[in-house]
């Protein structure tokens, strides 16, 4: 008898895609924009979130879903800002999936929110396969990691709506070529918005805030219901 081959990965991804679709529908029905943040460990996801909360909290009602791989340090930091924060223990997995996000969303009062950020587990590889149901996916690459990452891990850059380059304050000390990097991204994913920034100095942050506002307008059919900044 010929052994039967099961494509387990496709089956898992099919289940995940259906769950992701449900998450988006749920968020759509409340006009809540969900943005997922992915990067390698330490690229600056939490620092970006802290700056974003500080700047946008008067304008949008924000919540954060934090993946917990080891400790709750990041979730504690965010919750310390009086922002509704849900921790998701990934139980040893190297990525979040849509079912985990569904459970996280169930902990939030979506009627009272405009914006949900997801901080995924620090990983550029496994995270690329799993649609979480976010309206927008943003990947962050920090200057010290090097500008060759899109060539090494193209999938996550291909699937992202925004490609953020973090820690640009340290550009003078690294051989990260921002122009060459931008060209590679433009070839790989012409629709992606490239947003260099520094959470330390604040440089470039306005581009990120404008992108969030535009994404919110898209969700609301051309209107940002929160009015002018």
Footprint of ligand GTP on this chain (CB under 6 A)?
39, 41-47, 74, 122, 166-167, 169-170, 198-200
Partner that binds at residue 122, options Mg ion, ligand GTP, none, CB closer than 5 to 8 Å by kind: ligand GTP
Q: Which is nearer to ligand GTP, 170 or 188 (CB)?
A: 170
Pick from 79, 36, 49, 82: nearest CA to 199: 49
φ/ψ bin of 195: left (φ > 0), alpha (ψ from -120 to 50), beta (otherwise): beta
Q: Which is nearer to ligand GTP, 36 or 43 (CB)?
A: 43
CB-CB contact of 108 with 63 (8 Å):
yes
| CA 176/CA 202 separation, integer angstroms | 19
Q: Cβ 72 to ligand GTP, closest distance in Å?
A: 11
Q: Cβ 187 to ligand GTP, closest distance in Å?
A: 26
CB-CB contact of 108 with 139 (8 Å):
no
Partner that binds at residue 199, options Mg ion, ligand GTP, none, CB closer than 5 to 8 Å by kind: ligand GTP
3-state secondary structure of 193: strand
Q: Cβ 117 to Mg ion, closest distance in Å?
A: 11
Query: In sequence order, which residues have a C-beta less than 8 Å from that of residue 190 and are 6 or more positions away?
Result: none
Question: For residue 65, which phi and psi values (nearest 5 degrees)?
Answer: -105, 120
**Site residues, Mg ion (CB under 5 A):** 45-46, 74
Q: Which is nearer to Mg ion, 19 or 96 (CB)?
A: 96
Q: Which is nearer to Mg ion, 39 or 189 (CB)?
A: 39
Q: Which is nearer to Mg ion, 20 or 78 (CB)?
A: 78
Pick from 110, 70, 74: nearest CA to 91: 70
Partner that binds at residue 155, options ligand GTP, Mg ion, none, CB closer than 5 to 8 Å by kind: none
Q: Cβ 209 to ligand GTP, closest distance in Å?
A: 15
Q: Cβ 142 to ligand GTP, closest distance in Å?
A: 7
| CA 121/CA 202 separation, integer angstroms | 24
Q: Cβ 44 to ligand GTP, closest distance in Å?
A: 4
| CA 130/CA 70 separation, integer angstroms | 20
Q: Which is nearer to Mg ion, 46 or 166 (CB)?
A: 46
């Amino acid at each position: 008898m010929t052994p039967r081959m099961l494509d387990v990965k496709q089956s898992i991804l099919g289940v995940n895609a259906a769950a992701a679709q449900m998450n988006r529908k749920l968020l759509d029905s409340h006009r809540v924009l969900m943005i997922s943040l992915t990067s390698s460990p330490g690229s600056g996801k939490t620092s970006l979130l802290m700056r974003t909360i500080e700047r946008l909290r008067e304008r949008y009602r924000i919540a954060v879903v934090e993946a917990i791989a080891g400790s709750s340090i990041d979730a504690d930091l965010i919750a310390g800002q009086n922002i509704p924060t849900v921790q998701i223990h990934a139980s040893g997995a190297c990525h979040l999936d849509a079912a985990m996000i569904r459970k996280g969303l169930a902990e939030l009062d979506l009627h009272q929110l405009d914006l949900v950020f997801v901080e995924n587990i620090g990983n550029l590889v496994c995270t690329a396969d799993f649609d979480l149901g976010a309206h927008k996916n943003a990947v962050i690459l920090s200057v010290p990691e090097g500008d060759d990452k899109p060539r090494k891990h193209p999938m996550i850059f291909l699937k992202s709506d925004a490609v953020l380059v973090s820690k640009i304050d340290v550009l003078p000390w690294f051989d990260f070529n921002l122009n060459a990097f931008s060209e590679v991204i433009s070839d790989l994913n012409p629709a992606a918005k490239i947003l260099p920034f520094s959470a330390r100095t604040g440089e470039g942050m306005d581009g990120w805030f404008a992108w969030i506002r535009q994404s919110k307008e898209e969700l609301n059919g051309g209107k940002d219901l929160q009015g002018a900044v």
